Amino acid sequence: MSAPAGQSVNHLVRRIGLGSGIAVVVGSTIGSGIFKSPSGIATKLPGPLPMLLIWVIGGLFVLCGALTLGEIGGAFPYSGGLYVYVREAYGRLVAFLFGWAQLVLLRPSSIGAVAIVCAQYGLKLTGLQEGKPGFNEWTAAIAILAVAVVTIANVLGVKVGTFIQNITTLAKTGGLLVLIILACVLRLPHASAHFTPAMPPGSFSIPMFGLALVSVLWAYDGWADGSYVGGEMINPRKNVPRAIILGTLGVIGIYLLANLAYLSVFSVTQIAKSEVIAADTMSTLVGNWGVTFIVATVVISTFGTLNGTMLTSPRIFFAMSEDKLFFEPLARVHPRYNTPYISVILAGVLGTIYILAATIWSGSKAFGALTDAFVIGIVPFYALSVGAVFVFRKREKQRLSTMTPSEIEDSMIDPIEAGHPETHPHPYRPSFRTPLFPVTPIIFILSTIFLLANSLIDHDSRIPTIITLGLVLVGIPIYKLTLAMRASQGS
């Protein structure tokens, strides 16, 4: 369901429980970043306090977004998540631009890039290293196979997809916890030198802090993915907010502990020199088998993230199609498996195209730079989605001010529980209210503005960012063309 919008309600079945919803958030967020990104962050902030503080601040920003979306998700627990929120707040054009960005930029790059990382680490387990003959070809083949596996799994049913998500989330979290426990037990009591001085001279500057914060917020990306499967969650009014908030809190905790573990084993200077800090940490703690263990954990981690992306992203295309803003077959639900199977297959095809393109242009720095900037396309929509809470609260206040007491009482009926989720205008009845409103959403919106401004100011990312935003805006004439074609067909 992606109601309300006046369209017919489809037949996706609510089978995702709270535990699986949390697994979607955690599994979609924790990929390869926490295993590699601390190196670049330590380079920019070469002090233990700044290095840990940046993860706390990034986590605070993301938590502000999660707390706000928890309120909105409880009021609009439908498939499509952010797409539904921006549609209900700002109209169909903005919703179309969000879906367009997901279609041409975000989901293909996300699916393909994660699959490539999964394949590269999988090859490390076989001994085939990067730069060796056949490495790129094998990477592409295994990445495409991984995409095919999660595509088929998510066609076969939401229970299959969430089962994979639950298992891989437990495995990746368990792998990280093994590293954390070993490091903290064996090394933390003897690692005081790694934490002093807390802020050495030159370890903090505003420009470097800004660049490091961008990297941290990228690592946290995925925290909102639980919203996309709201239409298939059990007891959605309560479980959608719980899944988003609890999943985000879990990721923040794991990231902070992982960085504490790295600092228990290495100094900030040593972390800055390590491209594979998790593997180096395990190697130091327990030897070569630790490297194999952590590489296997990264494979499982990225495969789980890939599955989470395949579980969530098709729901966006499904919701767009229900609104007749995209090809109508994408709203079809499989008669046996109750999944949006054509949308799932489309997501798999898009990811495969990305993998092939990445293989062809593997030597192009321009391709890599543009790919890295694609994620900036989601930033304006994160801000709009969180900002929607102001629109919904104001709209509901105005609506209630024009109603009689009996009309207000009738509006208190939950359209989902009553079996009429297509009720429109939709009453804004969240089961959870954003704490410290309006400060909480404002903090998140300011962080997204900072992120976007930083990408435009930074010399290396400026042109790719402008190209990315330009591609998003291309959706405006596409939207108008879609309306014109539909109008001509209707006449």
Rg (CA), the chain: 23
Q: 419 or 409, which is more confident?
A: 409
Q: What is the pTM of this model?
A: 0.88
Share of the chain above pLDDT 90, in %: 45
Per-residue pLDDT tens over the stretch 307-360? 998 988 888 888 888 888 887 888 888 888 888 999 999 999 998 998 888 777
pLDDT score, position 96: 93
Distance CA 409, CA 413 (A): 8
Under 8 Å between Cβ of 102 and 313: yes
Cα angle 14-163-24, degrees, rounded to a multiple of 5: 70
Is pLDDT at 413 greater than 80 in this prediction? no
Is pLDDT at 425 greater than 70 in this prediction? no
Per-residue pLDDT tens over the stretch 356-392? 887 777 655 545 554 566 667 888 999 999 999 999 9
Is pLDDT at 406 greater than 90 in this prediction? no
Domains (ranges, CATH) in the chain?
A: 18-400+435-484 (1.20.1740.10)
Torsion of CA 236, 242, 243, 247, to 10 degrees: 170
Is pLDDT at 414 greater than 60 in this prediction? no
Is pLDDT at 6 greater than 50 in this prediction? no
Q: Which two tokens stand for residue 334?
A: 């499989």
Specify the amino acid at residue 304.
G
Per-residue pLDDT tens over the stretch 265-277? 999 999 999 878 8
Give Cα 310 distance to the centre of its chain: 11
Distance CA 290, CA 299 (A): 14
pLDDT score, position 368: 54
Is pLDDT at 443 greater than 70 in this prediction? yes
Residue written as token pair 């006449």: 491
Under 8 Å between Cβ of 176 and 35: no
Q: Which two tokens stand for residue 487?
A: 């109008």
Share of the chain above pLDDT 70, in %: 90
How does DSSP assign 333-358, residue by residue?
Answer: --TTT-S-HHHHHHHHHHHHHHHHHH
Is pLDDT at 441 greater than 90 in this prediction? yes
Confidence of residue 5 (pLDDT cuts 50, 70, 90): very low
Cα angle 114-115-116, degrees, rounded to a multiple of 5: 90
Strand-pair partners of 392 = none
pLDDT score, position 379: 87
Characterise 250 by phi-psi region: left (phi > 0), alpha (psi -120 to 50), beta (else): alpha
Per-residue pLDDT tens over the stretch 143-177? 999 999 999 999 998 889 999 999 999 999 999 99
Range from 111-120, 425-434, 467-476 carrying the lowest mean pLDDT:
425-434
Q: Which two tokens stand for residue 367?
A: 């391709």
* pLDDT (mean) for 111-139: 84
pLDDT score, position 18: 94
pLDDT score, position 21: 93
Distance CA 168, CA 313 (A): 18
Q: Helix, strand, coil shares of the chain as percentages rounded to 5?
A: 75, 0, 25
